[in-house]
Amino acid sequence: MKFRWAWKAFKKLDGIFCIYKPKELRFSDAQRRIKQNLLRDLNALPCYEFEKSIHDIESNKRRTVDEITSNLPITRDVPDVIDVSENRLVLGRRYIESDIELFPVAPLQKHSSGVIVMGVGRAVGMLPTIARAKYMRVYHIRGRFGWATDNFSPKGKIIERTSFSHITKPKLDKICAVVQSNHMKLMFKYAGVKDGSQEAYELASKGLIRPESKDTPPVIYGVHCIEYNLPDFTLEIHSINERKEYFMNLIHELGLQLKSTAVCTQVRRVRFGHFTLDHALVQDQWNLYEIINNFDKCHPELHPDKLLIGSKIDQAKSHHFQIEDGENKNYLLEDS
Amino acid sequence: MSDHRITELEPIETTTKLDIHERLPKKIFPKVFSFAALVNENKCLKKLIALQVDLSVVQKRKGIAKYLVACDFEKHIAPHVLFLARLDVENIGQYLTKNMDIVLIDLAELENRLNYLKSKGFESKDVSRIISNSRILLMDVESVDEKLGHLQKMFSLSGKEVREVLTKTPKLMNKPHMLQLIKENKFHCKEFLGFSHMELKTILLDYPGFFMKSPSHLSKIFDYLHNTMEIDHKTIVKNCHVFKSRLRFIQNRHLYLLKVNRAQYDPQRENFVSFNALVSGTNEEFCANVAKTSLKDYYRFQESL
């Protein structure tokens, strides 16, 4: 996508997109970097009257000695009678940091990596709706048997070394199944219904039982071992309202249950509801053009049918939210 | 007491008409926070714009803004511009944007500083390069001499080598605590990273910008090159331009090359990947020439980290 004017690009900068945060990068740093990249690309476009392109101006800048000494001031290819004050050389950059609003849904901590959904511009108003949907997140958690640290993270102080040769894949699978089944009971509790009641039955018949709000303790829906290569192993965990500390604790407990110890070495979010790795932009792609292209990619995932699953509205009955596909790009949900 | 008295009935005869505009001060400038309010009327500012000086940057410098508004262009600034033009400074607008303080310095003093550089045996081509890329004209002759002298002593350089270093990276002079930084970096590289004095000297002659980086940046990249990629000191000294790039680039590209089985940094074996090829170039160039895969695959790989 090419733009002739910066304001045209700025007008388009309004939507939901998806990034892949690398590990060892603080989320606030990632946010700042995206903002700076957007500003860099916006300001590189013509912002003021009579500006052509930053490359044209650059080539105009080189002057010979004669030009500078003899005919001052040099008029450019612009009319003589112009307001000089409205100029990049006087007013500086057209777009500054406070012009861009950029916020995430469920950001990740420094040491974890993965998909983060973000909104820019007016679409920031859409983010609470996405948060309310309580999407299921899928994580790939790597762990390593044989050691324990004081704060469960691989960078902590090692306090114990253990043997792990007695661990087998079936044993690990068994523990994973136990974790999963324990959380089955918790689902109803956090959803705010009584176990075995009519209400619970109705809730369960509709599909996934989601917790009532985003403040409940973590709920785990599935734990599978997808890679087993002693001493390393990788678990795929489906959960809602999780935190990194919770996973680190989980891996530690898992190690203890297997009569060994384990440390969580990597936390990676591979899916956030309908937003997958296919949607996400890696750090080299965090620029204006890729982000604007990404709005279109993420837009189908914001359909009310997908967005209202977490809220208690019965979507079949609510004709109010029906939007014709592709035609209306305004987010009606903002008004609700 | 005069005899002649003006009675109240007699009209007062005035020869000149009273003009209220004449009595008032000619112009009242309210306090302004930007040159934008003055630029249309002020001749000097207008001419600076014609020179492509970025006033939005200049106005933030203390003391300069007031001086520019009040001064006469032909009298106070044009001589300096001509001086720079005579020195063949490339892109005078950009130079003035960064070093507007130069208009506060006497021309004789500037000539003095220029003569110092010439007396030290710099060629005129190098002089214009050094001046247009550094703030050397804004510094005292004494402090410049002190810095160059210390640099020469620290690495036991010959006069020619000092000239070479300064011509290669004139920005070395821009750092306010340049000597301290170089000293710190030298100590760090010698004691912690294990480079010898001669190795550091070759690095300085090859890529002086190495010593302008922060010690933590150097040790991070060195740690990755030496401990993860298993490259010895000799090769690192030869390819010291690697320190120009960020750790993230080296890390991502090295891991990707490992994945596609192309991480081969030994020049004596086939499929050799040079450090220059690893670090420089855009992602498209890297994927096409070095990794020989599509860009999409590279981005997909980054999502697995």
Cβ contact A87–B49 (<8 Å): yes
Contact with chain A for residue B104, Cβ under 8 A: no
What is d(CA B114, CA B128) in angstroms, rounded to the nearest whole number? Answer: 10
Smallest CA–CA distance from A115 into chain B, residue: B303
CA distance A38 to A99: 11
CB of B284 less than 8 A from some CB of A: no
* One-letter amino acid of B239: N
Domain ranges of chain A: 137-272
Per-residue model confidence (pLDDT) at position A336: 34
The secondary structure of B108-171 as a DSSP string is HHHHHHHHHHHHTT--HHHHHHHHHHSSGGGS-HHHHHHHHHHHHHHTT--HHHHHHHHHH-GG
Instruction: Examine residue B132 and state whether it is found in any structural domain, yes or no.
Output: no
B302 vs A282: CB contact, 8 Å cut-off? Answer: yes
- Mark out chain A residues that contact chain B at CB-CB < 8 A: 20, 22-23, 60-63, 65, 68-69, 72-75, 83-93, 113, 277, 280, 282-285
Judge: A65–B88 Cβ closer than 8 Å, yes or no. yes
In a domain, B136, yes or no: no
Q: How confident is the model at residue B27 (pLDDT cuts 50, 70, 90)?
A: low
pLDDT digits (tens, 9 = 90+) for A113-168: 999 999 999 999 989 888 888 888 999 999 999 999 998 988 889 999 999 999 99
- Does B261 lie in the same domain as B226? no
What pLDDT was estimated at residue A272?
A: 92
B51 vs A325, more confident: B51
Provide the residue range defining the domain that includes B275. 245-305
B55 in reach of chain A (CB within 8 A): yes
At a CB cut-off of 8 Å and minimum separation 6, what does A207 contact?
A309
Q: Is residue B251 part of a domain?
A: yes
| Total count of domains within chain B | 2
Q: For B73, which residue in chain A has the nearest alpha carbon?
A: A72
Give residues with Cβ within 8 angstroms of B265, minimum separation 6: B229, B231, B235, B272, B273, B275
**Is the model's pLDDT at B21 over the cut of 50?**
yes
> In terms of domains, do B233 and B251 share one?
no
Residue B276 lies in a domain: yes
As a whole number, mean pLDDT of residues B56-63 equals: 86
Contact between A39 and A97 under an 8 Å Cβ cutoff? The reply is yes
**A113: nearest CB among B36, B81, B305:** B305
What crossing angle do the helices spanning A198-205 and A169-191 adopt, rounded to 10°? 120
Residues of A in contact with B56 (CB under 8 A): 88-93
Per CB-CB distance under 8 Å, the chain B contacts of A65 are 85-86, 88
B48: in domain: no
Q: How confident is the model at residue B23 (pLDDT cuts 50, 70, 90)?
A: low
In this prediction, residues B97-117 reach a mean pLDDT of: 91
- Residues B304 and B249 reside in one and the same domain: yes
State chain B's mean pLDDT as an integer: 87
Report if residue B303 sits inside a domain.
yes
Residue B279 forms part of a structural domain: yes
Asked whether the beta carbons of residue B302 and residue A69 sit closer than 8 angstroms, the reply is no
Q: Is the pLDDT of residue A330 over 50?
A: no
Domain contains B166 = no
Summarised one tens digit per residue, pLDDT across range A181-229 is 988 888 888 888 888 888 888 888 887 888 888 888 888 999 999 999 9
- Mean per-residue pLDDT, B35-45: 85
Q: Is any Cβ of chain A less than 8 angstroms from the Cβ of B35?
A: yes
Is residue B206 very low, low, confident or very high in pLDDT (cuts 50, 70, 90)?
very high
CA distance B76 to chain A (A): 15
pLDDT interval class at A76 (50, 70, 90): very low
Complex prediction ipTM: 0.83
Contact between B49 and A280 using a beta-carbon 8 Å cutoff: no
Q: What's the average model confidence in pLDDT over A58-84?
A: 45
Q: How confident is the model at residue A215, as a pLDDT?
A: 82
Reported as a pLDDT band with limits 50, 70 and 90, residue A32 is very high
- Kindly tell me if the per-residue pLDDT of A331 is higher than 60: no
Touching check for B90 and chain A: CB below 8 Å?
Answer: yes
- One-letter amino acid at B17 equals K
Please give the CATH architecture assigned to the domain spanning A137-272.
2-Layer Sandwich (3.30)
- The span from the CA of B138 to the CA of B76, in Å, is 17
Q: Above 80 in pLDDT, residue B303?
A: yes
Predicted confidence (pLDDT) at residue B260 exceeds the cutoff of 60: yes
Of A109, A115, A143, A137, the closest CA to residue A226 belongs to A143
Which helix (DSSP H) or strand (DSSP E) does residue B217 occupy?
helix B215-223
What is the mean pLDDT of the segment spanning A242-260?
91
Lowest mean pLDDT among A105-119, A252-266, A307-321, B199-213: A307-321
Q: What is the pLDDT at residue B24?
A: 59
- CB contact, 8 Å: B46 with chain A? yes
Closest CB to A89 among B52, B85, B91: B52
Backbone angles phi and psi of A235, in degrees to 5:
-110, 140
| pLDDT tens profile B125-138 | 999 999 989 999 99
Residues B146-175 pLDDT 10s: 999 999 999 999 999 999 999 999 988 888
pLDDT of residue B199: 93
- Residues forming a β-bridge with B86: none
In contact, B128 and B90? CB cutoff 8 Å: yes
Question: Which of A20, A75, A89 comes nearest B53 by C-beta?
Answer: A89
**Residue B55 distance to chain A (closest CA, Å):** 5
Is B36 touching A (CB cutoff 8 A)? Answer: yes
Identity of the residue in A61, A88, A284 whose CB atom sits nearest the CB atom of B283:
A284
pLDDT surpassing 60 at residue B25? no
Kindly report the nearest CA distance between residue B34 and chain A, in angstroms.
8
Confidence of residue B198 (pLDDT cuts 50, 70, 90): very high
Closest CA to B226 of B236, B216, B239, B214: B236
Pick B85's closest partner by Cβ from A69, A74, A90.
A69
Instruction: Compare all CA atoms of chain B with the CA of A70 and give the residue at the minimum distance.
Output: B82
Nearest to B47 among A72, A86, A280 (CB): A72
A69 and B37 within 8 Å at the Cβ level: the answer is no
Least confident of A38-42, A190-194, A240-244, B79-83: A190-194
| B280 and B233 within one domain | no
The answer to whether the beta carbons of residues B181 and B209 sit under 8 Å apart is no
**A57-66, A294-303, A312-321, B206-215: least confidently modelled range:** A57-66
Q: How confident is the model at residue A68 (pLDDT cuts 50, 70, 90)?
A: very low
